[in-house]
Structure 1
């Protein structure tokens, strides 16, 4: 792997030139940085966020220089520019960094990044489990085998699968292999969830995770996912900024006195957004505190409990009002998820202050 490097001299009229490509090893990057540090008084580096992670960011920072990891989706681009090469991208980044037109992403520390990788591994395992289950369902539907009950993937459903008989032995083997794949995927999900539960108490954001679980519809996985993906909520000055970051605010195309708003922007962290929409379904029930939730509330501060109850009363009432107006359930849950994000922001801020 190689890094394409461009340099923008200071000042509006400073030269912007392409330096070249070098091997992206720590030793080579360190030599390159030391070489230019001896030539210039101050250096500021930037690169696009991507699969290479934050190793280069930490290397540059350890050498005492500024570094910005740039959000690729927010890089300004000309509509007519259809040519994309490493050289052109490097020169464009250098010019935009000097102009202050780049948007930085939040960079987690190594411990936080490790927890995020673990949570994302669990999310990937859940997706694999869903695909394997879908394959079994499609196989049974193709052969006209309809499960007589409503709820699937229970122990009764698995027993029903084992009772199915096919004329050709190849069909029997195919079904058994797919069922076995479901079992292995499910065990992987459960194993990762146990590991997450094991590592949370030693994590720096354990107080935030526990506080978030005071909210209805927010269990350990939702709380850990929110904490790992969002990180320090204090970087959002108000809840609306967090809602916009998650892509839960409506898009708008307005001009003059004409105001047109559409669906949500979906511009942001899709992992947290989808989980919040799933959690919003729980607010279709009247406000109440169950036995499990009561046990979790006892571990939180009075201020967090007050926010959690206020959220439950507010969001359940809003769900009823939107349903009475004839809104679709998907639209209702999206609106509830947007407000739930605001309450999660308030709870996380309160937990960090405490």
Structure 2
């Protein structure tokens, strides 16, 4: 069985084909500097793949092979190594595509490369839509800040209620400036906010439609049994994590999210640091937001009861257990004098473990 290593840099390919086995890598074929490979080159890869059951190891950017005629069944056998877990030596100060291809081939042969999960085309499209919605949310926040800072510079202040409530919007609608240029400036800032708010509502409606359709409907229903998890949070979890079964334990899922504490220990000395933050910042944010719902007891909620209607009994029991445990966790940490950041991080970490258990319970 042969291994194929492919180093890719914006259309330039360095391919290395070598056999399995101990000892130094033997080069069978080296293809360097191929600009936009044609169908002939792809057919070579395809033939090699079928005959030798080789695996394509891709480091970094997308290769685009799936769009250049490579059979889909072959492409989906590819394994992409996790860039952050590729072993590196501090003494190695020379980096070239040829050296990278050789290193990847050797690491692949020895089994030291850990591959990432490649989502399907449909999941990737939905994930991009969710990320676009997240970008819009950030832009809306910035434009709201710009509007309020503009008014603050003109010594126009609002202190009746919180910002962006019905009363606040009425106040903004009634604002007028004597200076024509200032009025145009205010209209521009305010119109951006209103347009983006409408776009955000439209995207949220579309996300709910996607969540209620196949193949997401069943999994979204399971996740929504938990307090703090609604359509948006559930869809982010499904599209960013994709397959919960690839995590063998709840601890490995927490580690994937970057919610576990780091450690720097040696001998009898043990030192734990803050959370590693190695996973997706989006997932940590939405889980933290969901965890805030567990500040209060979750008994008697009509909304949660309606969500759990028709769901598997095991999932409902697990969600109820999570609600009681997480609130107790929050209260215990609060009584111990922990800061809100520490409390909510601990609760979100345990919440992620319950979500992992629910998805694997049904599977």
Q: Could you tell me the TM-score, scaled by structure 1's length? A: 0.90
Farther-moved stretch of structure 1 (266-275 vs 282-291): 282-291
Shift of 1:37: 5.3
SS in 2 for 1:101: coil
- Asked if 1:137 is matched to 2:148, the reply is yes
Q: Report if the CA contact (8 A) 1:108-1:231 is conserved.
A: yes
Computed over aligned residues only, the root mean square deviation of the Cα atoms, in angstroms, reads 2.6
Cα shift at 1:95: 2.9
1:27 aligns with 2:57: no
1:194 aligned to which of 200, 205, 208:
205
Kept after mapping to 1: 8 A contact 2:223/2:234: yes
Q: Are the aligned partners of 1:207 and 1:351 in contact in 2 as well (CA < 8 Å)?
A: no
Q: What secondary structure, in the 3-state scheme, does the structure 2 residue paired with 1:144 have?
A: coil
- Structure 1: gaps (5+ residues): none
Q: Give how far 1:285 is off.
A: 0.9
Q: Distance in 1 between matches of 2:66 and 2:138?
A: 28
Query: Hey, what's the Cα distance between the residues in 1 that align with 2:313 and 2:212?
Result: 21
Q: How far apart, CA to CA, are the structure 1 residues paired with 2:342 and 2:65? A: 37
**Is the CA contact (8 Å cut-off) linking 2:58 and 2:81 kept in structure 1?**
yes
SS at match of 2:58: strand
Q: Deviations over 1:1-29 (max 9, x none)?
A: 41322315223312358521223467365
Residues 27, 206 of structure 1: alpha-carbon distance in 2 compared, 3 angstrom cutoff: farther
Looking at structure 2, the residues matched to 291 and 74 of structure 1 have their Cα atoms a distance apart, in angstroms, of 46
Greater CA drift, 283-292 or 90-99: 90-99
Q: Please point out which of 6, 9, 16 is paired with 2:15.
A: 6
Matched residue, 2:133: 122
Deviations 1:305-338 (A, max 9, x none): 1111100100001101101111111111000000
- Corresponding residue to 1:251 among 235, 246, 262: 262
8 Å CA contact 2:211, 2:231 repeated in 1: no
Q: From 219, 238, 241, give the equivalent of 2:249.
A: 238
Q: Deviations over 1:268-302 (max 9, x none)?
A: 12211110011111111123231111111113121
Contact 1:246 1:269 in 2 (8 A): yes
Given candidates 286, 291, 296, the residue that maps to 1:280 is 291
Which position in structure 1 is the counterpart of 2:350? Answer: 339
Q: Secondary structure at the match of 1:196?
A: helix
Q: 2:336 aligns with which of 308, 325, 333?
A: 325
Is this contact kept in 2: 1:18–1:87, CA < 8 A? no
Q: Which residue of 2 aligns with 1:180?
A: 191
Secondary structure of the structure 2 residue equivalent to 1:145: coil
Tell whether 2:206 aligns with 1:164. Answer: no
- The equivalent residue for 2:3 is none
**Residue-by-residue CA offset, 1:330-350 (whole Å, 9 max, x unaligned):** 111000000000010111122
Residues 63 and 281 from structure 1, CA distance in 2 versus in 1: closer, same or farther, beyond 3 angstroms?
closer
The aligned counterpart of 2:55 is 44
* Structure 1 contact 136–178 (Cα < 8 Å) conserved: yes
- Number of aligned residue pairs: 351
* TM-superposition CA deviations, 1:134-160 (whole Å, max 9, x none): 222222233332211341112321222
